[in-house]
Structure 1
Amino acid sequence: MRKKKIAQLITAATLSLFTIQLTHAETIKAPTIKIQEQINVLEKGNWDQFNHAQLNQFILENGNKSAKYNAQKPPYVVFDFDNTSIFLDIEEATLIYQLENLLFKVSPKELNKVIRTNIEDTNFSSDFNNQDGQPVNINTISPDIIESYTWLYKNYVGLKGKKSLDEVKQNPHYENFITKMRYLYAAIGDTFDHSVSYPWVTYLFAGYAPNEVSQLAKATYAWQQQQKIAPVTWTSPQALAGKAGVVSVTWDNGLRPYKDVQNLYQALMQNGFDVYVCSASFIDVIKGIATDPNIGFNVPTDRVYAMQLQHDKNNKIIAKFNEDYFQTQGKGKSQTIEKFLVSKYGYGPSFIAGDSEGDQNMMQDFADTQKVLIVNRWRKLTTDIGQFSKVASESYGTQNPKYLLQGRDANTGLFVPSTKSIAFGSTEAKAFK
């Protein structure tokens, strides 16, 4: 009898404890689900875990789920595009597509003027000497380019000739033209100030209508999705050494969107942030990619700022910079944000994302900026962005850091869940070069 009573007491106590546990579980069940929903405001994807948590916190504290959110004065954010929103550079990829398919709308005489625009006749950087070790400059490379373009212009059916693209590709003038044009772009970028080199490549759209450039960019994007991620080297033919001699140039192939950044764009928009792009590429190239709903960034057309050229009376592009706008690189990005966004909102961007020295000004020029995302491309520590990357590394794991460093894998074109990045051809992740 005593044992039976004890058993009953134990059973009652167990049931009581179970009831207490169940009741407690029921009281915390709803908040637990709510917290889980908050954590998933931004998909985890391949984000570094700490960066993911910080971005979630930033969105929740400043977006439309926050009590302090004001729809009349919404927060806004600014993304760089090339190598920040996408893997590689859409402007550079478009140049390759334009060259390979001979998609030009100028005569040889006009092209000669375009490629010489604002380029001094000093020798290019010694890294761009020809294969014989001799220096090259605009006066030696231009005649070679124009000679080959003249032959293509007269013979290719897409210009003024009758031969198909496959037919003209068999002639050494084709290889000479595309190689020396791509070499010239690289040599200018390595030799002259960004204020000269960044606009230069946009001049090659002379004769295009804006929507034609956007369509060209879309075609480039679709083509690049099918390309292998790898460096490509072009060498001009010995048979057409010309004045510049034989030259080589290497460029990166395999542009991809960063899916995690696309998810970040959407999470920000869905939570009441106005999302802008400020890029050093050409305006209609970026609009073609950033605003296309099929690609996945979905930025409104009027929220893209980039390099602008003048138009003629028929709305065709002229190889002349539009001085009504700043060059959207370096300090020009900050000036563009000041002119068009701070003047509109009355305050600065709450978030900036970038990857290079062209972004370092806007990363530090606005007191309202709470978070800065840096895609880790191993920038030199002698630059501001290199120092910001170092600060991000040192403040990793601390409460509410301003700078976040996000790693990527150059073999896949994807983020990796780390602050460290992996170089093409390597499997080792490093924080700094």
Structure 2
Amino acid sequence: MMFKKGMAWMVGTLFVCGSLLTGCGVKADVKTAPAKPVVTLDEGHWNPAVKAKLETLIAEGAFQGKKAVFDFDNTTICRDIGEATFAAMVEAGQLTLDGISRDITPSFVLGDKTVALDTVGSLPEFYEDFLSATKHQKGEKTPYANSYAWVVQILAGMTPDQILPYSEKAFGNNVAMQDSGAADLKETKINGYRMPFFYPEMVDLYGTLLKNGYEVYVCSASNIWTVRWMVRENLNKLLEAKYGKGIAIAPDHVIGVNVLLKDKRDGKLYKDQLLVRNNAKYAALDRAELSNYELTTQVVYPITGYFGKVANIIKYVTKERPYLIGGDSSNDLPMLDRAENRLWITRLEKMGYQKGLVEQMGDSLPGNWMIQPVLYKKSPGFVSTRAELDTRLAPKPSALEKTGKVAGFLEENGALKAF
């Protein structure tokens, strides 16, 4: 009996001290999960449901080394820097009809006309026709892939440092941001192509991901040197100004269409994604170093378009499903399908893209879809609600009618909610 009483006293003492030793100064080996950070994106013009979902997802996956991948043109920026750079080169006479290699440029029939460099009125006219060259084929899902390659191949003979001044001119230090002021403002263009600007909401999203421990990548179908310049010299400066030094995208985290480079010093051929990892000056866009590399006509495969984006993600980002991927077009749907969470930048002027989205949503891997409406022509920028859309495009009834039909289509098919 004495033994039992003693044991009872000891057990009682353990509980009085605080749940089995923890209250008696003896540390229990109990691991507690770190508290989730509070994540708040800037209000901007996010759709409220998308903003709330992103904040939750970012908090849940914070500081776990998760990957986020974003398209660049019409996703990170409004409009297309690759096309604007092409337009700037044509305007300056850097690219001409006579100067383009016929060996890499096919002639073809489009509708009832023959398209060739010798028959079109301008280089942009040929490019626009080439974008549609294979759309006549039943089942065509990747119509622009060859154009993505061609518009980089025609830069053969140039060096990367010769491309960048035209990218700088095409961007114009974010000057096209002024277009978002009102629907009746004249669109800022260069040689007929709309000049791009950064979506403020996307800049904030990049910064929020980075400061919460995510690895962030850009996967673009534009030429790599232009996109890397946009990231290094513009996006990173915006990020560091707001979030502090070191909050930036690494040079090798930017992936784009490229060709083999010939080093004029040794005659050897090089690939961009290896150079950017092994040559610090090249990665830093040092103009003197870039001038040593001449572009050839030989495309580095797989190109960063359609399913090629998936291949590049597997090769350079992760073999697992990325935590978050963002895109805006049919070019991005294959990589979006691989993501656990998908941010779709919904261009309300593009009904065809939204039909492709609805089809993809009905046949995709498990995962979240977040649909964020935007405008890229009149009154460009993110759009939070249908009421805001009506207000912004009120001066342009035809544009409002068109975009309203697109929004209605998405709502009817359950893609766009709380708008």
| TM-score, structure 2 normalization | 0.66
Cα contact 1:374–1:389 (8 A) shared by 2: no
Show the counterpart of 2:345: 375
Change (3 A) 1:340 1:86: same
1:191 lines up with 2:163 in the alignment: no
Which of these residues, 213, 216, 224, is aligned with residue 283 of structure 1? 224
1:141 lines up with 2:105 in the alignment: no
Show the counterpart of 2:298: 321
Equivalent-residue separation in structure 1 for 2:321 and 2:367 (angstroms) = 18
Equivalent-residue separation in structure 1 for 2:229 and 2:408 (angstroms) = 33
Show the counterpart of 2:314: 338
Structure 2 matches for 1:388-403, cutoff 5 A? 388=360, 402-403=368-369
The two structures, once aligned, show a CA RMSD in angstroms of 3.4
Show the counterpart of 1:27: none
Change (3 A) 1:412 1:200: same
Q: Give 1:300 shift.
A: 1.4
Equivalent-residue separation in structure 2 for 1:59 and 1:76 (angstroms) = 11
Which has the larger displacement, 419-428 or 219-228?
419-428
Cα contact 1:230–1:252 (8 A) shared by 2: no
**Deviation per CA, 1:265-290, whole angstroms, max 9, x where unpaired?**
00000000000000100000100102
Aligned-residue identity in percent: 22
Which has the larger displacement, 295-304 or 92-101?
295-304
User: Considering only CA atoms, is the larger Rg found in Structure 1 or Structure 2?
Assistant: 1
Cα contact 2:110–2:129 (8 A) shared by 1: yes
Show the counterpart of 1:274: 215
Q: Give 1:219 shift.
A: 2.8
Equivalent-residue separation in structure 2 for 1:287 and 1:183 (angstroms) = 27
* 1:409 aligned partner, one-letter code: L
Show the counterpart of 1:415: 382
Show the counterpart of 1:75: 66
Change (3 A) 1:283 1:233: closer
Change (3 A) 1:295 1:138: farther
Show the counterpart of 1:124: 110
Equivalent-residue separation in structure 2 for 1:421 and 1:321 (angstroms) = 45
Structure 2 matches for 1:41-80, cutoff 5 A? 42-64=41-63, 69=64, 74-80=65-71
* 1:337 aligned partner, one-letter code: I
Q: Give 1:381 shift.
A: 6.9
Show the counterpart of 1:148: none
Q: Give 1:182 shift.
A: 1.0
Which of these residues, 359, 366, 377, is aligned with residue 387 of structure 1? 359
1:98 lines up with 2:113 in the alignment: no
Equivalent-residue separation in structure 2 for 1:233 and 1:268 (angstroms) = 32
**Deviation per CA, 1:129-166, whole angstroms, max 9, x where unpaired?**
xxxxxx23216426xxxxxxxxxxxxxxxxxxxxxxxx
Show the counterpart of 1:169: none
Change (3 A) 1:350 1:188: same
* 1:380 aligned partner, one-letter code: G
Show the counterpart of 1:38: 38
Q: Give 1:208 shift.
A: 2.4
Cα contact 1:214–1:287 (8 A) shared by 2: no
Q: Give 1:418 shift.
A: 3.2
Name stretches of at least 5 consecutive residues in structure 2 with no aligned partner: 1-34, 135-142, 180-184, 241-247, 265-291, 410-419
Equivalent-residue separation in structure 2 for 1:432 and 1:182 (angstroms) = 33
Cα contact 2:171–2:195 (8 A) shared by 1: no
Cα contact 1:199–1:321 (8 A) shared by 2: no
Cα contact 2:327–2:345 (8 A) shared by 1: yes
Structure 2 matches for 1:133-282, cutoff 5 A? 135-138=113-116, 140-141=118-119, 180-192=122-134, 193-222=143-172, 225=175, 251-282=192-223
